[in-house]
Structure 1
């Protein structure tokens, strides 16, 4: 029993330490050469900016300001920022199944019903930075945490702020923890 408890505690500790975002980047790029940025004309890829879109834009602007990067018009930008919320469907079990059984000795019968299942739509935030001159993505971050339709506006704002802040802790690459 003590071993099982220890394994559970270690697993929980490791899960808590796991990064909530993943990043990728072009290792041949000198990120110190970038000093200005703008949102790509198709950032968010919608005909209008959604409520979450406004939250993402504000969070990205805040993080670039912290990095001392200047926001400029698209033609003058070194980096173009694109972002999107990728929707994913998953099944979620809620509650517990019910069951009963009977038996004697080494033999018994049981009957149970599975817990109710419902389909949940979630959104994963992806942010990409593209070099304006080469039009190639040079840095990408994706969230491992999800937005879902049952979250309150305040919860959504806090989650977006936290995720974007964690993404930009890893920008520019190689400076994490410094």
Structure 2
């Protein structure tokens, strides 16, 4: 019993340490040279700002302000912030399968049906920082947590705030 509890506790501990955000960056870039930013014209990849888009923009502004970076006009910015919510479909089993069987001794028959499967639409947030002079992505963060259609506005807002905060906790690289 003690061995089982130790293994279960270790599993929970490791699951708690799993990163909810993955970042990548150009290791040749000196991030200390960047002091200003603007949203890229294609940020959000839409001609209008959605409800989630507005939440992302507010969270990005808050986090870059915490980094003491100035928001300026696009032409004057050192970095352009591009973001998108990438839609993904995944299959989810819901409930349990059904089955029955009969038999005697060492012989029997059984029938079973797998649990129902349904498609779920989810959105993964990806933020990229682009050097305005070179038009090259210098830093990228992607969430491992997903927005779901069924989430309430409050839950969506909290999730976006948490994810964006965690993303920018890893910017600039090397300060973790």
CA distance in 1, matches of 2:15, 2:96: 24
Equivalent position of 2:111 in the other structure = 111
> Is 1:47 the equivalent of 2:50?
no
Paired positions, count: 176
> Is 1:33 the equivalent of 2:33?
yes
Equivalent position of 1:145 in the other structure = 145
| Alignment TM-score, normalising by the size of structure 1 | 0.94
Q: Cα RMSD between the aligned structures?
A: 1.3
Gaps of 5+ in 1: none
CA distance in 2, matches of 1:167, 1:136: 19
Could you list the per-position Cα deviations for residues 103-122 of structure 1 after superposition, in whole angstroms to 9, with x for gaps in the alignment? 22322222222111111111
Equivalent position of 2:76 in the other structure = 76
Equivalent position of 2:168 in the other structure = 168
Could you list the per-position Cα deviations for residues 35-70 of structure 1 after superposition, in whole angstroms to 9, with x for gaps in the alignment? 100000110010111110000000000000111110
CA apart distance, 1:2: 5.2
Superposed structure 1 runs of 4+ greater than 6 Å apart: none
CA apart distance, 1:156: 0.5
Which range is displaced more, 165-174 or 1-10?
Answer: 1-10
CA apart distance, 1:5: 4.8
Gaps of 5+ in 2: none
Which range is displaced more, 161-170 or 92-101?
Answer: 92-101
Q: Residue 4 and residue 163 in structure 1: after superposition, are their counterparts in 2 closer, same or farther (change >3 A)?
A: same
CA distance in 2, matches of 1:109, 1:17: 45
> Is 1:120 the equivalent of 2:115?
no
SS in 2 for 1:47: coil
CA apart distance, 1:99: 1.4
Could you list the per-position Cα deviations for residues 57-91 of structure 1 after superposition, in whole angstroms to 9, with x for gaps in the alignment? 00000000111110001011000000000111111
SS in 2 for 1:41: coil
SS in 2 for 1:174: coil
SS in 2 for 1:62: helix
